[in-house]
Amino acid sequence: MEHLINQRVKDIEISGIRKFFNMVADTKDMISLTIGQPDFPTPLHVKEAAKQAIDGNFTSYTHNAGDIRLRKAASSFVQTKYNLTYNPENEVIVTSGASEAIDIAFRTILDEGSEVILPGPVYPGYEPIIKLCGAIPVYTDITKNKFRFTADLIERQMSEKTRCIVLPYPSNPTGVSLTLEELEQIAALVKGKDIFIVADEIYSELIYDQAHHSIASLLREQTIIINGLSKSHSMTGWRIGLLFAPENLAKHILKVHQYNVTCAASVSQMAAFEALTEGIDDALPMRHEYVNRRDYVYERLIQMNLDVVKPDGAFYFFIKIPDVSMDSFDFALSLVENAGVAVVPGSAFSTYGEGYFRISFAYSMDTLREGLDRIENYLKHLKR
């Protein structure tokens, strides 16, 4: 029955991040620096709120867009943190993780043959959904621009078929964010054109050297914001995402969401409500620790004479592979086999990631120290 499978589904693949992680998961004495998942537990008060929801039998369907208390909390959160105003009644949708928010946003705005401009390298979760919609991903090489996806680079890729630009900042895999001035230039370029911005801001609470700025503050009517609790509150498994869009957009996105999942899990919604109210600043101590880890990892990488851009957000380093005769997959595999360290091949993040590898510093200092020691010893062996 293979010949009956939707060809677009057959043409996409499992994420390169997960593919490599799964491949080495059972290897003994392995130090894994692969997955972008906070190593902190979900805050205790958030877990207690979920228990109370269960005990109170809050286990039924909610409004398709999410419980109104949570939508109000989400609206208040982005107003307080980023000075963004969204009506909780009709401009906020609670989703089953940010991944579902990306899916329903693309399925609402893309048609057959629409073009979507993305930075390269980039998180691999966008391209498959774009292709499933019959649209075309158009990558922009940002490797020669210190991983900055700027207006001049975007303009070169724009055409009459451009329907959407994806702004994923802070970035996975590079950890780079955009300045307010850079966002203003992008907004000026796109303003008034029939082009949407999908702003994936899932790491907005994990930015270290400047305040987070959302392009929605400059281009609200054309922007769909993707956010959620996974990274900010260490709630990856709770699967709560947040989508913010002007009413004329949100009402259509909600239809796709309704037929996709009906509503996000009710118990998780009550945990998220607690996180966005009583836990509004839960990310701060985690962010402080990430800064310490980032600075430690950066110094170690520089000491190894590796070519790397210091990240100012998220928890990743995207590192140029030393001058060796291996592609990124073979280099990562060699690290596993010869050093007992798992990283993510840069090729997982589009063809523009080839020649790089990604490490996550969402791990304990002990794990980072041991992993970097092993990488350093491996590189010394390569140079012999």
Taking every pair of C-alpha atoms in the chain, what is the biggest distance, in angstroms?
Answer: 65
In whole angstroms, what is the distance from residue 47 CA to residue 223 CA? 33
Q: Are 173 and 121 in contact (CB under 8 A)?
A: yes
Q: Of 86-90, 203-207, 326-330, where does mean pLDDT reach its minimum?
A: 326-330
Q: Which band of pLDDT confidence, cut at 50, 70 and 90, is reported for residue 1?
A: confident
DSSP string spanning 48-67? HHHHHHHHTT--S---TT--
Q: Is the model's pLDDT at 236 over the cut of 70? A: yes
Average pLDDT (280-308) is 97
Q: Is the model's pLDDT at 384 over the cut of 60? A: no
Q: Of 6-10, 145-149, 213-217, 333-337, where does mean pLDDT reach its minimum?
A: 6-10
Q: Is the model's pLDDT at 341 over the cut of 60? A: yes
Q: Is the model's pLDDT at 366 over the cut of 80? A: yes
In whole angstroms, what is the distance from residue 281 CA to residue 285 CA? 8
Q: Please report, for residues 8, 236, 247, the alpha-carbon distance to residue 124 in angstroms, rounded to integers and kept in the order given.
A: 16, 17, 29
In whole angstroms, what is the distance from residue 45 CA to residue 279 CA? 8
Give the pairing of strands 92-95 and 241-244: antiparallel
Q: What is the pLDDT of residues 123-168, one digit of tens each?
A: 999 999 999 999 999 999 999 999 999 999 999 999 999 999 999 9
DSSP string spanning 23-49? HHTT-TT-EE-------SPPPHHHHHH
Q: What is the pLDDT of residues 242-265, one digit of tens each?
A: 999 999 999 999 999 999 999 999
Higher pLDDT, 200 or 9: 200
Q: Specify the fold of 44-276.
A: Aspartate Aminotransferase; domain 2 (3.40.640)
| Bridge partner residues of 141 (DSSP) | 120
Architecture label for domain 2-41+282-382: Alpha-Beta Complex (3.90)
Average pLDDT (65-79) is 98
Q: Is the model's pLDDT at 298 over the cut of 70? A: yes
Q: Is the model's pLDDT at 26 over the cut of 90? A: no
SS3 of 163, please?
strand
Number of Cα atoms under 13 Å in the Cβ half of residue 129: 19
Q: Are 325 and 318 in contact (CB under 8 A)?
A: no
In whole angstroms, what is the distance from residue 70 CA to residue 68 CA? 5
Mean of the per-residue pLDDT values of the chain: 95
Q: Of 65-69, 203-207, 319-323, where does mean pLDDT reach its minimum?
A: 319-323
Write down the pTM of the prediction.
0.96
DSSP string spanning 223-283? EEEEEESTTTTT-GGG--EEEE--HHHHHHHHHHHHHHHSS--HHHHHHHHHHHTTTTTTH
Q: Which residue has the tokens 């498994």?
A: 237
Higher pLDDT, 216 or 21: 216
Starting at the earlier edge strand, list the strands of the sheet with 344-345: 316-320, 356-360, 344-345
Measured torsion, CA atoms of residues 145, 149, 151, 154, in degrees rounded to the nearest 10: 100
Q: Give residue limits of the domains in the chain.
A: 2-41+282-382, 44-276
Own/partner pairs, 178-187, CB within 8 angstroms, 24+ separation: 178/148, 178/149, 178/150, 178/213, 179/210, 179/213, 180/213, 182/148, 182/150, 182/151, 183/213, 183/214, 183/215, 183/218, 184/218, 185/150, 185/151, 186/150, 186/151, 186/154, 186/215, 187/215, 187/218, 187/219
Q: Are 294 and 361 in contact (CB under 8 A)?
A: yes
Q: Is the model's pLDDT at 323 over the cut of 80? A: no
Q: Which band of pLDDT confidence, cut at 50, 70 and 90, is reported for residue 325?
A: confident
DSSP string spanning 332-373? HHHHHHHH-EE-EEGGGG-GGGTTEEEEE--S-HHHHHHHHH
